[in-house]
Structures are given as structure tokens and as C-alpha cells.
Chains A and B, each alone.
Chain A
């Protein structure tokens, strides 16, 4: 990581090539992952078996009930594969970095990141890639193909094109929340509990939003759609694919796009504010 930044500084261009730097990060992480190949395989297998168990549970549930919040079995499997895409991307690219970020703040090692001639948020958000997390991405891909073939209404070309865009929007919303939470370490000193909080709160995104009904459910749904837009992360892309004819979904889809942009912008503001309050540590 050190020499990447120094070569970037040594080059005559003032602006570093962000893509090149990122590719170098990805390559280095892959090399590091491959150094412990046994461990890498075990991590892939365990996350896949975890997913298989979840899948088994949902299959069991759909053995009793025909639908969940208006989603049939195969529609829900499309939903599940979307969850897998979003989560595996976040876990591969951002999770290891966000964890390290609050440690960097606590130990004062963030100084070194601040000194590098590259955007600090870019550097601390992407400098590690956990390749093993992507095993669930492929699992999700297989599940998507399997369940799409069994749907009554297949999505059209527009949905196929929009789907990956909305998956990326979902990743952006999750990322924003994560980096905003990690930034608070500057004020709190440490936020171990906040990470658990992150896991628990993203739990809300795992099911179709229709299940949140009633006197408690409806406000909860409104809150997690419009205030903290966790519910649109998986719901919007999944609905495009699983319920392509649902006309209701378009306003929400437009909102999701706006929510993604707003989240990234807000998290950038919080990050910058946090950097202004950062006062190294110890010596």
C-alpha cells in the first residue's frame, strides 16, 4: 500500500489514477488471500454453508406458507439472491476497510492515510478487498438464474438493464451508512457496539417491505424507507426482477436512485466533518 501511493506521488500527474490504484489494492489483496489458500477455501465454504442453511430455512417456511408478504416462493428467491449480491459486494469491498477505519482513528495511524496524495475517503474505503466474500455473489447468481426461470412473469430488457444499476445503488446506501457509522469513532474514541448495531439494523433490509404492517410496522417501514433508506436497498432491484409488471414500483425506484445519491453525499459530509475533528492519538 505504501509504495502504491509513493509511485503515484512521484508521477508527474497531480491527480492519481484512482482506477489503477484500486486495481493495485485488489491485486494485493488477492495475493494476500492466496497466501493462506486453505484459510481462503474454508472461508468460502463456511459462508456458502451459512447461506445454504438460510436457504433451507426459507424452503422449510415455504413448505408451510405459499407466500411471504405477497411474494411467492420463487419471487422470494429472487429477493434472496439480490440480498446476496448486495451483501457480498459490501462485505468484499467495504466491510474489512470500515472495520480497520475505526482502528486507524483509535490508534492514530490515520495520520499516514491523511498524508497520502490521494482522497482519504477513497483510500480508507477500498484499500482491502476480501475476495472470499464474493463466493456468495456467485451463489446468488446461480440462485437468480434458477428462480428467474421458474417465475410466471419474466423481466424485460429494461428491468435487466436497471437491475445491476439498482444493486449498485443498494451497495452505495449500505456503504454510506457503514462509513458514516465508522466516522463517529472520531468523536466516540471507539465504536465496537456500533458495528453490532450495523448488523442488527441492516437486518431490516432482509425481507420484503410489505411484511412491515400495522401500528408498529407502518411507521417502521416509513422510517426505514424515507429517513434511513435501508428498505429500498434490496426491495427495489428485487421487485424489478421478481414483479416486473408491478406499476407501483416505479415511483419507489426513482426515489431509490435519489436516496442512493443523497446517502453518498451525506456520508461524504459526515466523513469530512469527522476528518476536521480528528486529532491524532498519542505521540
Chain B
């Protein structure tokens, strides 16, 4: 049962596990274990897919190389929005790590699908909390992903080690890890909330597409959001999407330090709580709105 403790710790944020009895722990541990086994079936495909995800990086290295060449011809101190050429590439590499935590492939769609085809009923009848269940299976999904992806990631980061100026200080590293965990939670509860919209709309895929577009641009996945000028930058910093890719990467690179770092982490925590509450609230409202027939 020592291992069951770690399983329980992982699902505390779910909110559904306020009073953990041994039997509840066994249930959640079983859910976690089955999900892990389910995920390991496609490990080969996983590893290959992960490695291929780094291919666009090759183009980005040359793209930014050409940009900095053009800059270097004009002035000696060539930085773009405070980033050197190496830092930009390191930034892109780091956003891949942020995305590995914050992206939730297929979460919203599967929730909306379960609402549409009535499968959701089993969570209304059985003593298992839907959000808690989804969170645990997502943790399992992610654990397996890291287990398999650590190989390709290590390889790519080793090959690209020249773009980094060394490991950050321990407290920065700690902040980085903390922000990654929170980016996972924001990603999960935000996308789960999108799925809950399915209670009203049934089909959420077009909404998701719009969200994905905005996410790619405003999370900093496409470029460091420091590049955005004036009020554009202000707006993007006020929107929680930056915590899904930009923030952890910028923390690692030491772009955010001291009090700004503390405030950043606090804001991120605020958004975690915000989306936990929002997700729970939309779920409760949705269940009241929901009517299931037949089957």
C-alpha cells in the first residue's frame, strides 16, 4: 500500500478525493494502473512520434539563424526582444517540455463525446467522480508519455546542448518544475471545461479548433510572447494561455526572476484554482441540464 499513497497524492487536486479511505485509494490506484497499461500498448508509435515532433525545430534553427545574421549585419548586440539566437532556440526546445505537460490531446472531445452518446451516465450513477477519474487517467497517460518520451527528449536536448548556457540555479529549477506541474493542471482543467460545454452544445470540435489556433499563438508556442509590442503584449500577459508554454520556458531561461517570478507563480496558482472551480461549476451546471434517455 506504500505505492497507493503516491497514487492518492496525484489526485488530490481533483477535488473528488476529500476523504480518502483505503477502499477509495485502491479504486483510484486501480484506475491509474489500468490506464498506464492501456497506454503502454502503443509505445513504439509514441517514441517515433515524439522524435518526429522535433523535426520542425531544424527549420526553426535555420530560420532564426538567418534572422540573427541579418541583425548582426546592422548592430553588434543582436537580440530579439532580449533573446539571443541561442536563447530563442533553447526557448523553442523548452516549450516542447511545457507542451508535454500542458497539452491534453483529445480530452475535451472525449468528454463531449461521452455526453453526446450518453456514456456520461455511468459517472452519475457509480460512486466515481468524473473529473477525478479523468484526472487520474490523464496523469497515467502523461506518466507513460514521459517514460517513453524521455529517450527522444534526452537525445534531442543532448544534441542541442550548445544552445543552453548551462543548468539554472536550484531555486530557478524548482520554480520551473513547479510551473510545469501547474501548467499541467491549468491545461487539464481548462480543456475539461471546454469538454463540459458539450452539455449545452453537444459538438465542441469547431470551438476547440478556434481555441487551438489562439493557443498556438498566445501561449508562446509559436514565438516568445516578449516579442509582442505595446498593448498586444499586455493583453497576452493577462490571458492564462501564456502559462501553457511561455512561462515555464521563460523561467528556465532566467527571463523572469526575483519578485516577478514569485508573482508569476502566484498568478499561475490563481489560474489553477480558477479553472478547478470553473470546471467543477460547469460540470455541476451541466449535470443539472443533462437528460439521458434509454440504454
Query: What size tier do the contact residues of chain A reach?
Result: 35 or more
Counting CB contacts under 8 A, is B150 at the interface? no
Counting CB contacts under 8 A, is B227 at the interface? yes
Counting CB contacts under 8 A, is B164 at the interface? no
Number of A-B contacts (CB under 8 A): 78
Counting CB contacts under 8 A, is B65 at the interface? yes
What residue of chain B has the Cβ atom nearest to residue A54's Cβ?
Answer: B222
What residue of chain A has the Cβ atom nearest to residue B218's Cβ?
Answer: A53
Residues in A whose Cβ lies below 8 Å from that of B229: 60, 63
Counting CB contacts under 8 A, is B56 at the interface? yes
- The answer to whether B210 touches A46, judged by C-beta atoms less than 8 angstroms apart, is yes
- The answer to whether A203 touches B67, judged by C-beta atoms less than 8 angstroms apart, is no
- The answer to whether B66 touches A201, judged by C-beta atoms less than 8 angstroms apart, is no
Give the distance in Å from the alpha carbon of A50 to the alpha carbon of B212 in the complex: 10
Known: A46-B209, A200-B56. A53 touches B228 (CB 8 A): no
Residues in B whose Cβ lies below 8 Å from that of A210: 66
- The listed residue (B49, B71, B228) touching A193 by CB distance below 8 A is B49
Residues in B whose Cβ lies below 8 Å from that of A63: 229
What residue of chain B has the Cβ atom nearest to residue A201's Cβ?
Answer: B55
Within 8 A of A (CB), among B183-232: 206, 209-210, 213, 216-217, 222-223, 227-229
Instruction: For the complex, count residues of B whose C-beta is within 8 A of A.
Output: 30
Main secondary structure of the interface of A (DSSP, over half): helix
Within 8 A of B (CB), among A40-85: 42, 46, 49-50, 53, 56-57, 60-61, 63-69
Counting CB contacts under 8 A, is B74 at the interface? yes
- The answer to whether B222 touches A50, judged by C-beta atoms less than 8 angstroms apart, is no
- The listed residue (B59, B66, B210) touching A204 by CB distance below 8 A is B59
Counting CB contacts under 8 A, is B63 at the interface? yes
Give the distance in Å from the alpha carbon of A214 to the alpha carbon of B58 in the complex: 13
Known: A53-B213, A211-B66. A64 touches B80 (CB 8 A): yes
Give the distance in Å from the alpha carbon of A66 to the alpha carbon of B132 in the complex: 52
- The answer to whether A67 touches B70, judged by C-beta atoms less than 8 angstroms apart, is yes
Give the distance in Å from the alpha carbon of A64 to the alpha carbon of B84 in the complex: 13
Residues of B within 8 A of A (CB): 45, 48-49, 52, 55-56, 58-59, 62-63, 65-68, 70-71, 74, 80-81, 206, 209-210, 213, 216-217, 222-223, 227-229
A-B contact list, 20 entries, CB within 8 Å: A39-B206, A42-B206, A46-B209, A57-B217, A57-B222, A60-B227, A63-B229, A64-B67, A64-B71, A66-B74, A67-B70, A68-B66, A192-B45, A193-B52, A201-B55, A204-B59, A207-B62, A208-B66, A211-B62, A213-B65
Residues of A within 8 A of B (CB): 39, 42, 46, 49-50, 53, 56-57, 60-61, 63-69, 192-193, 196-197, 200-201, 203-204, 206-208, 210-214, 217, 220
